[in-house]
Amino acid sequence: MFAASFRFLLNARRVNTQIRLKSTLVIAEHNNEVLSPITCNVLSAAKQIGGDITVLVAGTNCDAVAKAASNANGINKVLLANSEAFKGFTSESLTPLILAMHNQNKYTHILAGASAFGKSLLPRIAAKLDVSPVSDIIGIKAPDTFVRTIYAGNAIQTIKVKDNVKVVSVRGTSFDALPLEGGNAACEPAPPGDYKTNLVEFIKQEISKSDRPELTSAKVVVSGGRGLKSGENFKLLYSLADKLNAAVGASRAAVDAGYVSNDLQVGQTGKIVAPDLYIAVGISGAIQHLAGMKDSKTIVAINKDPEAPIFQVADYGLVADLFKVVPILTEKLK
Amino acid sequence: MSRVLVGVKRVIDYAVKIRVKPDKTGVITDGIKHSMNPFDEIAVEEAIRMKEKKLAQEVIAVTCGPSQAQDSLRTALAMGADRGIHVEISPTEYETLQPIHVSKILAKLAIDEKVDLIIVGKQAIDDDSNQTAQMIAGNLDWPSGTFCSKIEHGNGELTITREIDGGLEVLRLKTPAVLSADLRLNEPRYATLPNIMKAKKKPIKKISSKDLGIDTSARIEIISVEEPPVRQAGAIVPDVDTLIVKLKERGHL
């Protein structure tokens, strides 16, 4: 009798874990002042998965960020962790915090944006959980089935994850941003603990200053390549970009030649952008560059070489000397 | 002086336009030009420079894959690595071999070979995962320095400059550590013919994942691999005015 009911309990428990409700932890990216836009894209991916959504905001002084995140519509809880330990948002300090949260709450999904921050952090968490992470997803077919690109965007892979916890980084440009309004999630402190690590010390950041919109979320991007011939000549693109309220990007050739800093690089190894309008100036269109921009709504190419591969993906191509036509274009946009 | 482990992967050459198999199970690799993953060349170069500066006593190159994976190991040896380890993976197992498996193998080798530093490329250009360095570091509880564009060696520590979204970041890591190389870390050398000949005599130890006690069973199921949507062919416009008209029509201006 006792044995039978005990077995019943065991079975009930097993069934229970199988139909365990989905619950997602989204790791917010921010600079202690504002939430990074990519986090809003990750939140809509989380909503697509379904179930409870908890957002972790960890930093040195990020109450305002937590408050902003709690306004997002459809999220259940914001957990706030303020500590000097999280200075520089190092993976080594954040991982134990996230593991502690996971031990308490047993999330089914742990998500972050596929930015430098998310890419550095998530695989470390996955290794500690002994699960295989999924990078840079562009679609969700089911809570365990994700779509991502491989080979510099030249093939699209659909994979089913067998591990019980899905650790996933999300391509920001593939999901709409969830607006930070209409919600009123509870804001609670994250589990306390000593997360200070002696493995790594944050020294400094050198962030390139710009008045232009941020590259990955800009509606219009003007990019330059080797054809610009010098860093000085990039001024042509800055003038054009200012007329269009556009961000400025670059090909690897332009970055390697030292025309612009490498955080402007668009491509497989740089930023992935998908603006409404992408204007490629003096860019031939190597596979690696196309990987970063071919999901743009409209692509314009300005290049004097009619054989340049960029024309195969461009909606509008102008075969001309950029030094002649870019100033004319800028002038006529007045 | 430290011992350095570098991970290398044989991938389809970066300049090849890949083709998806008609049965949607993967991409065509037979008869296609392969080379060492470009980011791994940078990792190997950095390790060899450490040896040349007498910061490293030995550079061990390791690869995981079927028999052909040895090509990349030989390239690493020709560039200047001292010896190689080939962790042989059967072709079928290799199809679902992921960073989780590779990172466990490299972590085990790091302990067995008593290395102080592991350098790998920031991502392989085939699966584009960008996970291995981070996962090795997680397995070993070592610090990770991802996307390095500069590595400075101190006593028991490394000062690294990382490429992050808004610019650059500087971190100081305690060694032992795991680093991943970004494109701008260095300019890899070409292996010269004499060095390629010499590399043929350098030892390559062949072992299996089972010898290391690492389970490589599949953690994912590949449902399909497909061609990306093809963009509609565009038009060449004759002048700037036409371009502006077209962009206005589409509501961009």
The order of strands in the sheet holding B2-7 is: A200-207, B167-174, B157-164, B144-153, B177-181, B117-121, B2-7, B56-65, B83-88, B204-208
Q: What are the backbone angles phi and psi of residue A315, rounded to the nearest 5°?
A: -75, -40
Identify which of A55, A54, A128 has the alpha carbon closest to the alpha carbon of residue A91.
A128
Q: Do B159 and A203 touch (CB under 8 A)?
A: yes
φ and ψ of B13, to 5 deg: -55, 140
* pLDDT tens, residue by residue, A264-304: 999 998 999 999 999 999 999 999 999 999 999 999 999 99
Contact B99 A132 (CB under 8 A): yes
ipTM above 0.85, yes or no: yes
**What pLDDT score was predicted for residue A20?**
65
Q: Which chain B residues contact residue A132 at CB under 8 A?
A: 98-100, 219-220
Question: How many angstroms separate the CA of residue A184 from the nearest CA in chain B?
Answer: 30
Chain B nearest C-alpha distance from A316 (Å): 5
pLDDT at A73: 94
3-state DSSP call for residue B252? coil
- The interface residues of chain B toward chain A in range 189-208, judged by CB-CB distance below 8 A, are none
| Mean pLDDT on B197-215 | 97
pLDDT averaged over every residue in chain B: 97
Asked if A300 and A280 count as a contact pair (C-beta separation under 8 A), the reply is yes
The predicted pLDDT at position A5 comes to: 52
Of B190, B41, B49, B54, nearest to B120 by C-alpha is B41
Enumerate the residues of chain B whose CB falls inside 8 A of the CB of residue A298.
Answer: 247, 250, 252
Q: What are phi and psi of A187, to 5 degrees?
A: -110, 120
What residues of B are in contact with residue A260 (Cβ under 8 Å)?
none
Residue B62, CB-side half-sphere exposure with 13 Å CA sphere: 28
CA-based radius of gyration for chain A: 23
The residues, any chain, with a CB within 8 Å of residue A165's CB and separated by 6 or more, are A102, A107, A108, A109, A110, A129, A131
Model pLDDT for residues B47-59, shown as the tens digit of each residue: 999 999 999 999 9
Q: Is B131 on the interface with A (CB under 8 A)?
A: yes
N- to C-terminal Cα distance for chain B? 60
CA gap A114, A148 in Å, rounded: 12
> By three-state DSSP, how is residue A23 classified?
strand
pLDDT confidence band for A12 (50 / 70 / 90): very low
Contact B163 A313 (CB under 8 A): no
Inter-chain residue contact A269 with B123, CB threshold 8 Å: yes
Does residue A131 have a pLDDT over 50?
yes
pLDDT higher than 60, residue B182? yes
What contacts B215, CB < 8 A, 6 or more positions away?
A: B101, B209
φ, ψ at A52 (rounded to 5°)? -65, 145
Mutant choice from A132, A135, A323, A329 vs B, greatest count of B C-beta within 10 A:
A132
Task: Classify residue B159 as exposed, middle or buried by CB count within 10 Å of its CB (0-12, 13-18, 19+).
Answer: middle
Distance CA A329, CA B243 (A): 9
**Burial class, A285, CB count within 10 angstroms (exposed 0-12 / middle 13-18 / buried 19+):** buried
Q: Does B166 touch chain A (CB under 8 A)?
A: yes
Whether the predicted pLDDT of B180 surpasses 90: yes
**C-beta of residue B71 within 8 angstroms of C-beta of residue B49:** no
| Residues of chain B neighbouring A201 (CB-CB closer than 8 A) | 171-173
Looking at beta carbons, which residues of chain B come within 8 Å of A288? 14
Compare all CA atoms of chain B with the CA of A137 and give the residue at the minimum distance: B129
Mean per-residue pLDDT for B173-181? 98
Q: Is the pTM of this model over 0.80?
A: yes
